[in-house]
C-alpha cells in the first residue's frame, strides 16, 4: 500500500514539473514585462560539457517560484487555447491601459488583452509603443483579430476573454503579436 502511494506521489510531481516546463513559453507570452529582470547569471567560463546534469535555468526557474503556481497558470493557458475561437472586433480606440486595449464598438466598450511584443511592418515594437509611435491613436477606427474564449455563457450573462493577435489600423497596416504559437484561421 505504501509503495503505491510513493509511486503516485512521484508520478504527480513528475507530471507537475514536466507540465510547468512544457507550458512556460505560453505563460511568459501572456505575462507583462513590467518590472521583470533576468536574475539568472551565466558565468562565461562555465563548462557545460563537464557538468551534463547542470541546468542553471531550470534550478533558478523552479527555485524562484512554486511549481504548483506554474502548473495552474499552464493549465489556464491550455484551457484558454483549447476553448477559444477566432473573433474580429471593429471599433474606435479609446485607450491602452496596462495590457488592455479598450475599444468602443456598437455593442459597447470591449477590452482586449494585448501581448507585450508586436511586429509592425518589419520592425519589432512593444505594446505601449503602438500608441506612442503613431501607429494607433485615440478615436481611430481599427480592427482587431483575437482569440475569444467564453468563460460563462448564460442567457442573461456572458463573460469572455479576448487575446488580440492582429491589429489593422485605418491605413490598413497590420501589426502582428509575437506569440510562441501560430494561429491559422
pLDDT tens track for 162-172: 999 999 999 99
Average model confidence (pLDDT) for the chain?
78
Q: Which residues pair with 154 in a beta bridge?
A: none
Question: Does 116 score more than 70 pLDDT?
Answer: yes
Question: Does 63 score more than 70 pLDDT?
Answer: no
pLDDT bin (cut points 50, 70, 90) of residue 43 is very low
Q: Residue 6 has what pLDDT?
A: 77
Please tell me the pTM assigned to this model.
0.62
User: Looking at the chain, which residues constitute the CATH 2.40.50.140 domain(s)?
Assistant: 85-177
Place of cell 511592418: 121
Percent share of the chain, pLDDT over 90: 41
Hey, what's the cell of 177? Answer: 503579436
pLDDT bin (cut points 50, 70, 90) of residue 55 is very low
Give the tens place of pLDDT for each residue, 80-89.
888 899 999 9
- Per-residue b/e over 17-37, b at no fewer than 16 CB within 10 Å? eebbeebbebbebbeeeeeee
Question: Does 181 score more than 80 pLDDT?
Answer: yes
Question: Does 143 score more than 90 pLDDT?
Answer: yes
pLDDT bin (cut points 50, 70, 90) of residue 48 is very low
Question: Does 118 score more than 90 pLDDT?
Answer: yes
Q: How many CB atoms lie within 10 A of CB 185?
A: 7
Q: Which CATH number fits domain 85-177: 3.10.129.10, 3.40.50.300, 2.40.50.140, 3.30.300.30?
A: 2.40.50.140
Hey, what's the cell of 15? Answer: 507530471
Give the tens place of pLDDT for each residue, 6-15.
777 777 777 7
Q: Which residues pair with 105 in a beta bridge?
A: 108
Q: Residue 40 has what pLDDT?
A: 43
Q: Which residues pair with 111 in a beta bridge?
A: 102
Angle at 163 between CA 38 and CA 91, to 5 degrees: 130
Amino acid at each position: 500500500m505504501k509503495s503505491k502511494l510513493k509511486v503516485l506521489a512521484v508520478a504527480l510531481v513528475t507530471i507537475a514539473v514536466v507540465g510547468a516546463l512544457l507550458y512556460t513559453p505560453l505563460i511568459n507570452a501572456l505575462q507583462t514585462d513590467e518590472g521583470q529582470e533576468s536574475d539568472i547569471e551565466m558565468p562565461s567560463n562555465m563548462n557545460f560539457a563537464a557538468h551534463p546534469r547542470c541546468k542553471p535555468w531550470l534550478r533558478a526557474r523552479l527555485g524562484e517560484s512554486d511549481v504548483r503556481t506554474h502548473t495552474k497558470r499552464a493549465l489556464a493557458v491550455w484551457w484558454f487555447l483549447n476553448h477559444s475561437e477566432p473573433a474580429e472586433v471593429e471599433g474606435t480606440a479609446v485607450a491602452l491601459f496596462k495590457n488592455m486595449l479598450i475599444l468602443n464598438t456598437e455593442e459597447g466598450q470591449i477590452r482586449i488583452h494585448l501581448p507585450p511584443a508586436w511586429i509592425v511592418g518589419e520592425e519589432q515594437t512593444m505594446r505601449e509603443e503602438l500608441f506612442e509611435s503613431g501607429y494607433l491613436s485615440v478615436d481611430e477606427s481599427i480592427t482587431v483579430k483575437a482569440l475569444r474564449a467564453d468563460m460563462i455563457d448564460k442567457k442573461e450573462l456572458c463573460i469572455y476573454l479576448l487575446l488580440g493577435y492582429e491589429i489593422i489600423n485605418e491605413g490598413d497596416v497590420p501589426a502582428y503579436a509575437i506569440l510562441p504559437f501560430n494561429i491559422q484561421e
